[in-house]
Amino acid sequence: MPVDLHSLWTVEEVARFLSVQPKTVYQWASACLIPKVKIGRAIRFKEESIRAWVESNEEAPVSSKTRRPVGRPRTRHEGATLKNLVQMVVEADE
């Protein structure tokens, strides 16, 4: 299926959409944490893939008493979520 070139975002557009620095998007892309399209040496992002990625990283509601997701058992590792990635980047920049 052909890709609509008008629906491809640059690193800067993704960074603006996610409210992060462009270097953060580059780091996520190089670590394969965010869906990307390589065109030669350029990195582009499908708008619908980025929106779906954000939706898939939405966390469950959190109980105010336990500060853990409601209805989910406590696990040692919850996996990489968008919120965790952003927090790691913020802490690294401090």
pTM given for the model: 0.60
Q: Is residue 73 domain-resident?
A: no
Q: Is residue 70 domain-resident?
A: no
Cα 8–chain centre separation: 16
Report pLDDT for 73. 52
Residues ≥6 apart with Cβ < 8 Å to 36: 29, 43, 44, 45
pLDDT single digits (tens) 55-72:
988 877 665 665 555 555
Highest mean pLDDT among 3-12, 64-73, 75-84 belongs to: 3-12
Report pLDDT for 68. 58
Report pLDDT for 71. 54
Number of domains, the chain: 1
Q: Where are the beta strands (DSSP E) in the chain?
A: 8-9, 37-39, 42-46
Q: Is residue 31 domain-resident?
A: yes
pLDDT single digits (tens) 19-58:
999 999 999 999 999 999 999 999 999 999 999 999 988 8
Q: Is residue 53 domain-resident?
A: yes
